Amino acid sequence: MLGFTSGNAVRQIELEKKFDGRLDPADQRTWLKQMASEPNHVGSPHDKENAEFMRSKFREWGWDAHIEAFEVLYPTPTKVALEMVAPNTFKARLHEPEVKGDETSERTKDALPPYTIYGADGDVTGELVYVNQGLPDDYKVLDRHGISVAGKIVITRYGGGWRGLKPKLAHEHGAIGCIIYSDPRDDGYGSADVYPKGSHRPPDGVQRGSVADLTVYSGDPLTPGVGATKDAKRLPIAEAKTLLKIPVLPISYADAEPLLAALGGPLAPSGWRGALPITYHLGPGPAKVHLTISSEWSLKPIYDVIAVMQGSERPDEWIIRGNHHDGWVFGAWDPLSANVVLMAEAKAIGALAKDGWKPRRTLVYASWDAEEPGLIGSTEWAETHADELRKKAALYVNSDGNGRGFLKAGGSQSLQTFVNQVAAGVRDPQTGVTVLERQRAKILVDGSEKGAEDEAKKLAKRVTSGPALPLGALGTGSDYTPFLQHLGIASLYLGFGGEDKGSGIYHSIYDSFDHYVRFGDPDFAYGIALAQTAGHVVLRAAQADVLPQRAGDFADSVGRYADELHKLADDMRERTAQQHRLLDENAFVLAADPTERNEPPKRESSVPFLNFAPLDNALVRLAKSAADFDAALARAIRSDVATDARKFDRLNAMLQGLEQALIHPQGLPGREWYRHMIYAPGLFTGYGVKTLPGIREAIEERQWDEVDRNMKIVAGVLDAYSSRLDAASAALNQ
Amino acid sequence: MLGFTSGNAVRQIELEKKFDGRLDPADQRTWLKQMASEPNHVGSPHDKENAEFMRSKFREWGWDAHIEAFEVLYPTPTKVALEMVAPNTFKARLHEPEVKGDETSERTKDALPPYTIYGADGDVTGELVYVNQGLPDDYKVLDRHGISVAGKIVITRYGGGWRGLKPKLAHEHGAIGCIIYSDPRDDGYGSADVYPKGSHRPPDGVQRGSVADLTVYSGDPLTPGVGATKDAKRLPIAEAKTLLKIPVLPISYADAEPLLAALGGPLAPSGWRGALPITYHLGPGPAKVHLTISSEWSLKPIYDVIAVMQGSERPDEWIIRGNHHDGWVFGAWDPLSANVVLMAEAKAIGALAKDGWKPRRTLVYASWDAEEPGLIGSTEWAETHADELRKKAALYVNSDGNGRGFLKAGGSQSLQTFVNQVAAGVRDPQTGVTVLERQRAKILVDGSEKGAEDEAKKLAKRVTSGPALPLGALGTGSDYTPFLQHLGIASLYLGFGGEDKGSGIYHSIYDSFDHYVRFGDPDFAYGIALAQTAGHVVLRAAQADVLPQRAGDFADSVGRYADELHKLADDMRERTAQQHRLLDENAFVLAADPTERNEPPKRESSVPFLNFAPLDNALVRLAKSAADFDAALARAIRSDVATDARKFDRLNAMLQGLEQALIHPQGLPGREWYRHMIYAPGLFTGYGVKTLPGIREAIEERQWDEVDRNMKIVAGVLDAYSSRLDAASAALNQ
């Protein structure tokens, strides 16, 4: 057991057994039903009630709990309207009706209408252009058709990347408004029966969400880098970089169909077509729409619930566990299904404490508010307590919704073996094997399927000879971001899913208790499995003699990322050379249908050979330092010397904040808030991670000077990491 | 110019210029309008009128023309009905209504209702199962879901392979009836605007067609291997192997939607879902349908038009040019658009002859009847004249419909350089470059696209360093089959397309003149381009000193096919081993959702290492023989000796019927009618070719003894081919 002497490992297994014995699925069901009984978005009465309910529960369970409030910019819509004015007229309903068999779907008195937060107010009229998912490659396709969105209103479908990128890119291309709809191919009848017959998005269902530019910073748009306390210095709204400049509206596919059906212009490429019974065209026009959005732009209070259990031996090493509690409406799946898991863990740990047990390290259980608009509760708390966290935080463990199926885990790569060991000790409730074995089987089968994607095949290959559960790297989209990517605190994301049927009601009023107990985790068996997984991670991190981690896992992963970069540059070089040949031969013009407008692609700049030497040299050093450290630690833990508690004290002190070696104070190019040099949300993916982001995005964007600069920066942080490992090895070998 | 001495090459260019000058697009338009003015399927009055019209035209142009009639089994429907009887009732319309702007769409007095020919009569009622495209892999997926079609009626969508395979496989799996529908994703509104607004299949449009088992033999089901002359010996209907055993009905998507919407059972896999606005399920039931088909099973007369122009120097070497003239209803696209091209060629050649020119070899221009039900007109003629054809036929050049876009060419691989040379002499009417350059550009651009399929990438790679127009290999689906695959006559298929919009009305009443001149080749510019391409092929073959061919092209292609077989066996071996590992680890069960029925895949038999030595040795010999022959011929053509006409006479005699060396008298396993050992329609693809079919299908079907046997057979025919090349080389080197 990583980080444990053999004697303590035996005691730890006992502790985890006791912990497991205190978990009761009925608790989760009761709490979920109550907390999802009313709309609980930021500013709603029930949001505050939920926070107060949790505070009282944590206290009842023996925790030192309080609510920490912030004041954050949270615009709410006062008028939202969309109508088609040509070639025929149609007024969008923009309303999600109640459905039979879903008790809360009529309880919408306190709910806000479907909207996206942090777009601009506006009253615009323009021709419509269909831009598919509205991502950079989509605009390249439109360019090939000679279509510009300047002065137009775009309609884009959900999917492919962070919601906020769609209007951001539309604005950058000159659009004056942005409509985002949910195509039935993606999460409506094209993918499964719709609610209430089945689980998926009904015709009038709308996906709400934030369109803040989270790739720049997360949290309150007005207080980047500092806590949004009452007296914080705030930016004027006009200067907040994460606020968008054009109005944005999410709509249902029932509302989208007449708009899309009225588009003329070229046929949409086959990959752009959804499941509506129409022929998808690009426009522009003749469909012309009028979009109106106005909002009330005040500050609103948010309520983080913070519960602390002081460590008996190492009180200044904190194991933090978080999940948010605000939803878009009822939020049963997202986030409450996992928030009640966190509560179950806290109750069980409280019971252990009542029996006289004390954690060696300090536990901090947090239920964040305002994750939905932009990871605000967690970010403001992390920014407020940044100095203390840099000193004390040892690990942050996040979850954000739960379901039936397979363990999904991502995080700092040094934690991979640790997570694998924990997963090997949790039973899958449906099959009886461990959740580790089940996930491994899934990866192997997915990779073996005919037509499996390259990523699935690669993962299966890794699993065949490597870890059963390869830890994913983290982009953004949940509350780990301020901890991991802003502060450099080692972090994990954990959750089950893949067999549940939750995606179809994401961010709609149908994300309800009734829906969850039919299509999510009906008997809360996976609620128990997640409580065991996250609980064991927390308890092992709290009790370990040395914080569980394997430097070799990190070195291996960064080595793999670097290999990807070599290949990326080589592939781009070859593809670019090929594009130049084809352009020089006029092949694009000859291959195109002359009766349609077809532009050859823009000539890409040639890809030079890049200087990978600084990175590759740093990796050679890292691999050796990591191997030395892992070996020295294993020897120390195994040997009798291990009983020398002071040696471990010294070692823990040396390892505290190790992940922060990967932080660079200047941050990433153009977004200084993101300081982790190994993981970041992609500028053009959002949710999706970019590993070694400074180098990778510079290559992708063909900024060769930036490649050079970032190659050195990354080599620098890796060398600093290696130095810390070397120092720890030296201490161990004394 | 392959096969021409330099002096004759110059004269040939002159001849082709004169030929081109005799082509007039207005002719094609006039003939197309007239011939597509009434339904012209087998047995219709207009079918016979068209044959007689052509005979008179050919005679007018100076050809020796006659009609050769056969009597063939041609059932026509007397009653066709389909209704859903549970869980609700619905009566399928089975009718294609007239549309505005399409003059002939109301002229359906003589038309047959939408049906498929050569299914069984029957009156069956059963639960419905959706089987996707109804091909072997689809049944494997159903097996994984624990779904059997025994005693059920299947509904399958068009696409993926020969139409007749769908009911054949359904029957083999125990189904009692088969419905085939056109999903709007494939050729309806999901792929383009529908007729008459656009070109694609309107809601009530139906794809008719043959469901004969063409993979066993083509032609009249009652006279395999012999001509269906008046007095031919005929099989009893019950013994005809190409007739299916269950009733089959093609329907529109308007008729299919209520049936599919009424299916329950598991969700259809994502690749199985079409563009109807429903959630696709597999069944079985609760949808239950009642299908009735009865037919009149008489013999009907068919009319092949044969026009001959005797060769002045080598009358016993025949260059045959064919296209069929029967359509399913009006048949403007399919087949008349290319039949009028063939007529244009004949008219131009006739004009050259009137000016005193004579072909050196004999020309045979043929317009076949009854291609649609099963390549009957061509097959019966080829079988009737088999002995003479084996002696005299030097080349068969086929077309079957034409459109706007790119030159598609397939055929005997020894003709690849020949076709490239011809294509380098024809201008693309839209871009002004040669049709060769344009096709090359298309292949290169297609292969360079993001997400291009492996086949497209491979083709682009071949084109980069090899022939600009790689000649495809031929499966079946048009009239070359009896010539190439039954008799072993070197054959070509030629046609333009890819920019036209014809697929959506395929085999419906909307395949009309009005549709063709809007969406096909409005000014018949590609009708001229095809007349030039096919005409130049015919004229060069007729005039060449030595029949144009390059043995090295054939050797290269067979070498590539053999490489594919090595890779096929290796990939199957690895995939099978992986499947066994996953089955042994119980991974399929662990990875599956236990709340749904999921069966692990059936354990495939292990793939042993196979004895490729006979094939590989034969290929080494073939490569050398081909290189020697090509070099010897090139020397002879270049040298003064080339003026020795008797030497060429001897050589032509030695090369006559060379392709027949690739015939094996016992035919392919289980289908002795198919005798070509290099090309055949796949048993489970139909249209799609299988090269080296005896070996390839034995590997695919894991019949290892058959692999061994066929490896030797193929090596034998390749050695025979090499021997004939060696003999010719020796004669040349004398």
- Provide the pLDDT confidence category of residue A618 given band limits of 50, 70 and 90: very high
d(CA B549, CA B3): 7
CA distance A447 to chain B (A): 11
Helix ranges (DSSP H) in B639-692:
645-655
Tell me, yes or no, whether A581 and A701 share the same domain. yes
- The answer to whether B578 touches A448, Cβ cutoff 8 Å, is yes
For residue B511, the SS3 value is coil
> Which of A351, A479, A463 has the alpha carbon at shortest distance from A411?
A479
| Residues of chain A found within 8 Å of residue B276, distances taken between Cβ atoms | 277
pLDDT at A640: 59
Q: Which amino acid is located at A225 in the chain? A: G
- Provide the pLDDT confidence category of residue B667 given band limits of 50, 70 and 90: very high
Between chains, do B277 and A276 touch, taking CB under 8 Å as contact?
yes
- Provide the pLDDT confidence category of residue B646 given band limits of 50, 70 and 90: confident
Q: Which residues pair with B302 in a beta bridge?
A: B70
- The answer to whether A104 touches A330, Cβ cutoff 8 Å, is yes
DSSP secondary structure letter of residue A237: G
Instruction: Give the mean model confidence (pLDDT) for residues B462-489.
Output: 96
Nearest chain B residue to A585 by CA: give it: B441
Between chains, do B190 and A575 touch, taking CB under 8 Å as contact?
no
Instruction: Give the mean model confidence (pLDDT) for residues A355-384.
Output: 98
- The answer to whether A127 touches A163, Cβ cutoff 8 Å, is no
Instruction: Give the mean model confidence (pLDDT) for residues B44-55.
Output: 98
Instruction: Give the mean model confidence (pLDDT) for residues A514-540.
Output: 98
Q: Which amino acid is located at A360 in the chain? A: R
User: Is there a domain that residue A578 lies in?
Assistant: yes
Tell me, yes or no, whether B112 and B245 share the same domain. yes
- Provide the pLDDT confidence category of residue B259 given band limits of 50, 70 and 90: very high
pLDDT at B641: 55
The answer, yes or no, to whether residue A686 has pLDDT greater than 90, is no
Nearest CB neighbour to A590, from listed B270, B438, B595: B438
Token pair listed for A535: 């609980």
Residue tagged 């203390």 (tokens): A388
Domain C-terminal end among A533, A549, A565 = A549
B452: enclosing H helix or E strand: none
First to last CA, chain B: 24
- Provide the pLDDT confidence category of residue B647 given band limits of 50, 70 and 90: confident
DSSP secondary structure letter of residue B36: T
pLDDT tens digit sequence for B273-301: 999 999 999 999 999 999 999 999 999 99
pLDDT at A641: 55
B190 in contact with A, Cβ within 8 Å: yes
The answer, yes or no, to whether residue A496 has pLDDT greater than 70, is yes
**B422 Cβ neighbours under 8 A, 6+ residues apart:** B533, B536, B537, B540
Helix ranges (DSSP H) in A264-312:
none
Total of domains in chain B: 3
Tell me, yes or no, whether B576 and B508 share the same domain. no
Tell me, yes or no, whether B587 and B631 share the same domain. yes
Tell me, yes or no, whether A401 and A493 share the same domain. yes
User: Is there a domain that residue A232 lies in?
Assistant: yes
User: Is there a domain that residue B205 lies in?
Assistant: yes
**Orientation angle between helical segments A525-543 and A416-423, nearest 10 degrees:** 130
Nearest chain A residue to B404 by CA: give it: A593
The answer, yes or no, to whether residue B440 has pLDDT greater than 70, is yes
Between chains, do A593 and B405 touch, taking CB under 8 Å as contact?
yes
The answer, yes or no, to whether residue B686 has pLDDT greater than 90, is no
> Which of B444, B518, B656, B459 has the alpha carbon at shortest distance from B102?
B518
Token pair listed for A359: 């954690």
User: Is there a domain that residue B69 lies in?
Assistant: yes
- Provide the pLDDT confidence category of residue A503 given band limits of 50, 70 and 90: confident
| Residues of chain A found within 8 Å of residue B582, distances taken between Cβ atoms | 441, 444-445, 448
Suggest the residue from B199, B445, B588 to mutate for an interface test with chain A (most A CBs closer than 10 A): B445
Nearest CB neighbour to B437, from listed A275, A433, A590: A590
CB hemisphere CA count around B312 (13 angstroms): 8
For residue A573, the SS3 value is helix
Tell me, yes or no, whether A117 and A254 share the same domain. yes
Domain C-terminal end among A490, A523, A549 = A549
Cα B274 vs. chain centroid, distance in angstroms? 25
Residue-by-residue DSSP string for B249-307? EEE-HHHHHHHHHTB-SSBPPGGG--SSSS--B--S-B-EEEEEEEEE--EEEEEEEEE
For residue A396, the SS3 value is strand
- The answer to whether B82 touches B249, Cβ cutoff 8 Å, is yes
**Dihedrals phi, psi of B27, to nearest 5 degrees:** -55, -50
Between chains, do B276 and A277 touch, taking CB under 8 Å as contact?
yes
Strand B314-324 to B393-398 pairing: parallel
B499 in contact with A, Cβ within 8 Å: yes
pLDDT tens digit sequence for B87-145: 999 999 999 999 999 999 999 999 999 999 999 999 999 999 999 999 999 999 999 99
Instruction: Give the mean model confidence (pLDDT) for residues A610-623.
Output: 98
Tell me, yes or no, whether A689 and A626 share the same domain. yes
Q: Which amino acid is located at B355 in the chain? A: D
- The answer to whether B263 touches B84, Cβ cutoff 8 Å, is no
Peptide bond into B77 cis (omega under 30): no
- Provide the pLDDT confidence category of residue A732 given band limits of 50, 70 and 90: confident
Tell me, yes or no, whether B499 and B368 share the same domain. yes
Instruction: Give the mean model confidence (pLDDT) for residues B564-573.
Output: 98
pLDDT at B645: 75
Domain containing residue B27: CATH number: 3.40.630.10
What per-residue string of b and e applies to A249-262 under the rule 16 or more CB within 10 Å gives b?
bbbbbbbbbbbbbb
User: Is there a domain that residue B452 lies in?
Assistant: no
d(CA A46, CA A28): 18
User: Is there a domain that residue B169 lies in?
Assistant: yes
Nearest CB neighbour to A445, from listed B184, B442, B588: B588
User: Is there a domain that residue B450 lies in?
Assistant: no
B261 in contact with A, Cβ within 8 Å: no
Q: Which residues pair with A77 in a beta bridge?
A: A295
Q: What is the mean pLDDT of chain B?
A: 96
Between chains, do A445 and B194 touch, taking CB under 8 Å as contact?
no
For residue B66, the SS3 value is strand
- Provide the pLDDT confidence category of residue B22 given band limits of 50, 70 and 90: very high
**Dihedrals phi, psi of A294, to nearest 5 degrees:** -130, 150
> Which of A261, A302, A256 has the alpha carbon at shortest distance from A283?
A261
% helix / strand / coil in chain A, to the nearest 5? 45, 20, 40
A 10 A CB-CB count for B702 gives 15
Q: What percent of chain A has pLDDT over 90?
A: 94
- The answer to whether B78 touches B171, Cβ cutoff 8 Å, is no
Between chains, do B591 and A198 touch, taking CB under 8 Å as contact?
no
Cα B632 vs. chain centroid, distance in angstroms? 35
Instruction: Give the mean model confidence (pLDDT) for residues B34-41.
Output: 98
Tell me, yes or no, whether A317 and A230 share the same domain. no
User: Is there a domain that residue A444 lies in?
Assistant: no
Between chains, do B446 and A595 touch, taking CB under 8 Å as contact?
no
The answer, yes or no, to whether residue A84 has pLDDT greater than 60, is yes
Residue tagged 């609620």 (tokens): A527
Nearest CB neighbour to B441, from listed A200, A275, A591: A591
What are the CA-CA distances from residue B29 to residues B48, B136, B245, B338, B495 (Å)? 20, 43, 42, 11, 17
What length does chain A have? 734
| Residues of chain B found within 8 Å of residue A189, distances taken between Cβ atoms | 277-279
> Which of B510, B517, B512 has the alpha carbon at shortest distance from B96?
B510
CA distance B95 to chain A (A): 21
> Which of B649, B651, B669 has the alpha carbon at shortest distance from B711?
B669
Suggest the residue from A200, A278, A448 to mutate for an interface test with chain B (most B CBs closer than 10 A): A448
The answer, yes or no, to whether residue A687 has pLDDT greater than 70, is yes
The answer, yes or no, to whether residue A642 has pLDDT greater than 70, is no
pLDDT at B643: 59
Between chains, do B444 and A593 touch, taking CB under 8 Å as contact?
no
> Which of B43, B107, B96 has the alpha carbon at shortest distance from B295?
B43
CA distance A446 to chain B (A): 8
Between chains, do A594 and B184 touch, taking CB under 8 Å as contact?
no
Suggest the residue from A201, A445, A455 to mutate for an interface test with chain B (most B CBs closer than 10 A): A445
The answer, yes or no, to whether residue A647 has pLDDT greater than 90, is no
DSSP secondary structure letter of residue B84: E
Nearest chain B residue to A574 by CA: give it: B448
Token pair listed for B687: 């249209």
pLDDT tens digit sequence for A590-612: 999 999 999 999 999 999 999 99
CA distance B460 to chain A (A): 11
pLDDT tens digit sequence for A376-417: 999 999 999 999 999 999 999 999 999 999 999 999 999 999
Q: Which residues pair with A123 in a beta bridge?
A: A292
Chain B residues 135-174 with CB within 8 Å of chain A: 137
B385 in contact with A, Cβ within 8 Å: no
Between chains, do B590 and A433 touch, taking CB under 8 Å as contact?
yes
- Provide the pLDDT confidence category of residue B450 given band limits of 50, 70 and 90: confident
pLDDT at A193: 97
d(CA A411, CA A562): 18
| Residues of chain B found within 8 Å of residue A441, distances taken between Cβ atoms | 582, 585-588, 590-591
The answer, yes or no, to whether residue B614 has pLDDT greater than 70, is yes
The answer, yes or no, to whether residue A19 has pLDDT greater than 70, is yes
d(CA A253, CA A155): 12
Instruction: Give the mean model confidence (pLDDT) for residues B45-71.
Output: 98
pLDDT tens digit sequence for A555-571: 999 999 999 999 999 99
Tell me, yes or no, whether A207 and A325 share the same domain. no
Token pair listed for A20: 């497991």
| Residues of chain A found within 8 Å of residue B193, distances taken between Cβ atoms | 267, 279
d(CA B693, CA B707): 10
A90 in contact with B, Cβ within 8 Å: no
Domain containing residue A175: CATH number: 3.50.30.30
For residue B83, the SS3 value is strand
User: Max Cα separation, chain B?
Assistant: 83
Domain C-terminal end among A518, A549, A580 = A549
Tell me, yes or no, whether A110 and A235 share the same domain. yes
CB hemisphere CA count around B567 (13 angstroms): 6
CB hemisphere CA count around A279 (13 angstroms): 23
pLDDT at B582: 97
pTM of the model: 0.96
Instruction: Give the mean model confidence (pLDDT) for residues B423-452.
Output: 95
Q: What is the mean pLDDT of chain A?
A: 96
- The answer to whether B713 touches B667, Cβ cutoff 8 Å, is no
What length does chain B have? 734
Tell me, yes or no, whether A199 and A114 share the same domain. yes
For residue B354, the SS3 value is helix
Domain containing residue B614: CATH number: 1.20.930.40
pLDDT at A646: 79
d(CA A103, CA A98): 9
Residue-by-residue DSSP string for B603-619? PPPP------HHHHHHH
pLDDT at A556: 97
| Domain of residue A379, residue span | 6-73+300-426+472-549
pLDDT tens digit sequence for A226-253: 999 999 999 999 999 999 999 999 999 9
